[in-house]
Amino acid sequence: AELYGIPNWSSGYFRVSDKGKVEVTPAPGLSATLHDIIDELVERGESMPMILRFPQVISARVKQLNEAFRTAIREYEYEGSYQGVFPIKVNQRRMVVETIAEAGYVYAHGLEAGSKAELALCLAQNMNPEALLCCNGFKDDGFIKLALWGRSLGKNVVITLEKFSELDRVLRISRELGIKPALGARFKLHARGSGQWEESGGDQAKFGLNASELLQVVERLKQEDMLDSLVMLHTHIGSQITDIRRIKVAVREATQVYSDIVDEGVKLKYLNVGGGLGVDYDGSKTTFYASMNYTLQEYASDIVYTVQEVCKSNQVASPVIVSESGRALTAHHAVLIMPVIDVTGPTRGSQIVPEPSEDQHQIVKDLEEILAGINARNYREMYNDAVGDKETLHNLFDLGYLTLRDRARGEALFNAILKKLAKLVQDLPYVPDELEDLPKTLADKYICNFSLFQSLPDNWAIQALFPITPISRLNERPTRQATLVDITCDSDGKIEKFIDLRDVKATLPLHEVSGDTYYLGIFLMGAYQDVLGSAHNLFGKVNEAHLTVRPGGKHTIDLFVRGQKARRIIESMGYEEAMLRESIRVQAERARAVGELTDADITELEEDYDEELLGYTYLEYEE
């Protein structure tokens, strides 16, 4: 458990049992073993990979966020209140949105939509009438109409103006429909975030009004005698803010703007500080991009304190503080479980070194000498020589000076050198700098039945890090160092960076795979990954189990959602199922005509084809 840092990043939602198995712990006194859940699902005949979702974890996060603000509000005797909204773009899954709406009902926790489709989805949710439904993003007439209709349905819909020209559009449509809008204005803060989404804030940000545009909005509304429609000031300096100081600076600036707008005679009610509340993916509690140097309580306390201080000194009434936290509410609830289906690597198994040819090339002889002579004293020098020789070997082959037989022998000798080296360095307390790439070179490749592009797109696109651990055998010392590869035919489909408290690790310690299926869990993947994933190689959405953890270490499977069938994903590319079948039939007829297939063959072929069309897109082995 220590090795994988589970207590550091799990926020208490995962732990390791005495038997070395990972348990999910959505609340004190409630726990279930991931391996038991998987065994049950496999027994039922369900296929891997699979996402396990725990709605109780989402509910716990909603409660924790709201209670953190309530604690801060009590502590500082803040006169306003807090009302969060969940930006559904972070995860629009039905279970996620409905769980948040339900757990958030008592807190009047609302939703945020960034497109027409998202708004259509949000409008159908059962929400506390006080809860906000914020409409962000660029808008056309249809979007605005839907938002205004939402108000007449009794929902607290606020249309955020992302740019000045949206105001005229809103005013015109509101006149046409005879529905008065509630408006927010997104302000481009000068303050910037920290971490990977720094560009979301600052003067160059894509969204928002600058100071003069904001004042023009106020003027325009004054002219229309609609100043009371402007109820919210909205800001957002980026997701995953790693440094709490950036948040404080941004909130201070936002509250100054809020105060000045109130001074202009606008009765603003809500100050929206946007998203950005981080998730500590590596557990290091630092400003590293996969971490954050503050707790949830510090986040809430610092925001409440800063808003209070600025409002007091400006003698402005305390607003309802709104945050649009998405990542922090949803990341923890989902775990991707994938089986290791094979292991390869330069130091594995017995290396068969082809016999030397009679006129063996000198470069191959050099590698033979290195293999014979490498020892604890000279391994640095010898390793560097071997790397150089291997490069020369390939150059010579390319130029036609080396036979395939010599190349094969040279490569096998090189691997044998690596294997010997791995033994020599395994007892060293550290790997010397000049051998920096050595762990990666020596590492095994654990081939996992999943697609990085479908299940973990941020790891590929922006090098986001997620904690990965075996889900059992954690009381056993791992003896291998590995990188992970997926089953797509894309060489980018690999994971070669792993969390670490001090740095990023090039390899993950794993156990030798034997008899039983070895499962790895990818944790904290419930924010953004589910919805950004793409069907590279036509690997589709994965199977999902929704689970409730019950007292006494038990669990129930509330719902099993099958992943996409091959047919669906093929159809999403514009093909029709009937067309595919027809083409197979015509080809089979032709093959029969020339005696290649019998009637029985055709029946069997068509059955096999059908089975794959209706089947899961991932590899299916008997577990």
Tell me: is residue 5 an annotated ligand-binding position.
no
**x/- track of binding to ligand PLP for residues 88-117 (CB under 6 A):** --x---------------------------
Nearer to ligand PLP, 137 or 478 (CB): 137
Residue 241 and residue 248: Cα distance in Å, rounded? 11
β-pairing verdict for 183-186 and 156-161:
parallel
**x/- track of binding to ligand PLP for residues 165-204 (CB under 6 A):** ----------------------------------------
Binders in 234-273 for ligand PLP, by CB under 6 A:
236, 239-240
Which one of the listed residues 122, 134, 311, 489 is annotated catalytic?
489
Residue 87 and residue 162: Cα distance in Å, rounded? 16
Is the Cα dihedral 213, 217, 218, 219 positive or negative?
A: positive
For residue 30, give Cα distances in angstroms to 14, 15, 23, 394, 549. Answer: 11, 12, 10, 58, 6
Binders in 219-238 for ligand PLP, by CB under 6 A:
236
In the complex, what is the shortest distance from the CB of residue 326 to ligand PLP, in angstroms, rounded to a whole number? 3
Count the site residues for ligand PLP by CB under 6 A. 15
11 binds ligand PLP (CB under 6 A): no
**Phi–psi pair at 187, nearest 5 degrees:** -105, 135
In the complex, what is the shortest distance from the CB of residue 472 to ligand PLP, in angstroms, rounded to a whole number? 32
87 binds ligand PLP (CB under 6 A): yes
**x/- track of binding to ligand PLP for residues 529-548 (CB under 6 A):** --------------------
**Phi–psi pair at 562, nearest 5 degrees:** -70, 140
**x/- track of binding to ligand PLP for residues 567-596 (CB under 6 A):** ------------------------------
Q: Which of 125, 136, 255, 284 binds ligand PLP (CB under 6 A)?
A: 136
Nearer to ligand PLP, 331 or 443 (CB): 331
Tell me: is residue 615 an annotated ligand-binding position.
no
Contact 183, 232 (CB under 8 A): yes
* Residue of this chain nearest to ligand PLP (CB atom): 275
Nearer to ligand PLP, 187 or 450 (CB): 187
Tell me: is residue 280 an annotated ligand-binding position.
yes
> For ligand PLP, which stretch binds (CB under 6 A), given 39-47, 167-175, 259-267, 323-331?
323-331
Residue 97 and residue 531: Cα distance in Å, rounded? 13
| Pair of tokens at residue 65 | 């966020």
Residue 365 and residue 282: Cα distance in Å, rounded? 46
275 binds ligand PLP (CB under 6 A): yes
Tell me: is residue 299 an annotated ligand-binding position.
no
Tell me: is residue 272 an annotated ligand-binding position.
yes
Contact 363, 402 (CB under 8 A): yes
Tell me: is residue 293 an annotated ligand-binding position.
no
Instruction: Give the helix ranges, DSSP H, for 490-617.
Output: 529-532, 566-571, 577-593, 599-613
| Pair of tokens at residue 606 | 């068509």
Q: Which of 201, 326, 339, 526 binds ligand PLP (CB under 6 A)?
A: 326
In the complex, what is the shortest distance from the CB of residue 207 to ligand PLP, in angstroms, rounded to a whole number? 7
User: Which residues are CB-neighbours of 118 under 8 A, at least 6 positions away?
Assistant: 88, 89, 92
Tell me: is residue 563 an annotated ligand-binding position.
no
489 is known as an active-site residue? yes
SS3 per residue for 177-235: HCCCCCEEEEECCCCCCCCCCHHHCCCCCCCCECHHHHHHHHHHHHHCCCHHHEEEEEC
Dihedral angle, C-alpha 575, 578, 584, 590, nearest 10 °? -120
In the complex, what is the shortest distance from the CB of residue 276 to ligand PLP, in angstroms, rounded to a whole number? 5
Tell me: is residue 76 an annotated ligand-binding position.
no
Residue 202, judged by CB atoms within 10 A of its CB (0-12, 13-18, 19+), counts as middle
Tell me: is residue 57 an annotated ligand-binding position.
no
208 binds ligand PLP (CB under 6 A): no
Nearer to ligand PLP, 282 or 368 (CB): 282
Q: Which of 21, 327, 361, 555 binds ligand PLP (CB under 6 A)?
A: 327
Q: Which of 162, 166, 324, 496 binds ligand PLP (CB under 6 A)?
A: 324
Tell me: is residue 492 an annotated ligand-binding position.
no
| Pair of tokens at residue 370 | 């290195």
For residue 71, give Cα distances in angstroms to 437, 570, 609. Answer: 49, 51, 60
276 binds ligand PLP (CB under 6 A): yes
Q: Which of 125, 325, 472, 617 binds ligand PLP (CB under 6 A)?
A: 325
Residue 255 and residue 63: Cα distance in Å, rounded? 26
First to last CA, the chain: 26
> For ligand PLP, which stretch binds (CB under 6 A), given 100-108, 163-171, 256-264, 325-333?
325-333
> For ligand PLP, which stretch binds (CB under 6 A), given 320-328, 388-396, 409-417, 437-445?
320-328
In the complex, what is the shortest distance from the CB of residue 199 to ligand PLP, in angstroms, rounded to a whole number? 11
**x/- track of binding to ligand PLP for residues 47-86 (CB under 6 A):** ----------------------------------------
Q: Cis peptide leading into 509, omega within 30 of 0?
A: no
Nearer to ligand PLP, 236 or 390 (CB): 236
Helix and strand totals (H; E) in the chain: 21, 21
Tell me: is residue 501 an annotated ligand-binding position.
no
Residue 450 and residue 447: Cα distance in Å, rounded? 9
Give the largest Cα separation in the chain, rounded. 97
Type of residue found at 479: T
Count of CA atoms in the C-beta half-sphere (13 A) of 585: 7
Nearer to ligand PLP, 236 or 361 (CB): 236
Q: Which of 85, 229, 118 is CA-nearest to residue 167?
A: 229
> For ligand PLP, which stretch binds (CB under 6 A), given 67-75, 326-334, 416-424, 602-610?
326-334
> For ligand PLP, which stretch binds (CB under 6 A), given 50-58, 168-176, 324-332, 488-496?
324-332
Residues contributing to the annotated binding site: 271-281
- Residues found near ligand PLP in the complex (CB under 6 A): 87, 90, 136, 236, 239-240, 274-277, 324-328
Tell me the catalytic residues: 489
Residues contributing to the annotated binding site for substrate: 271-281
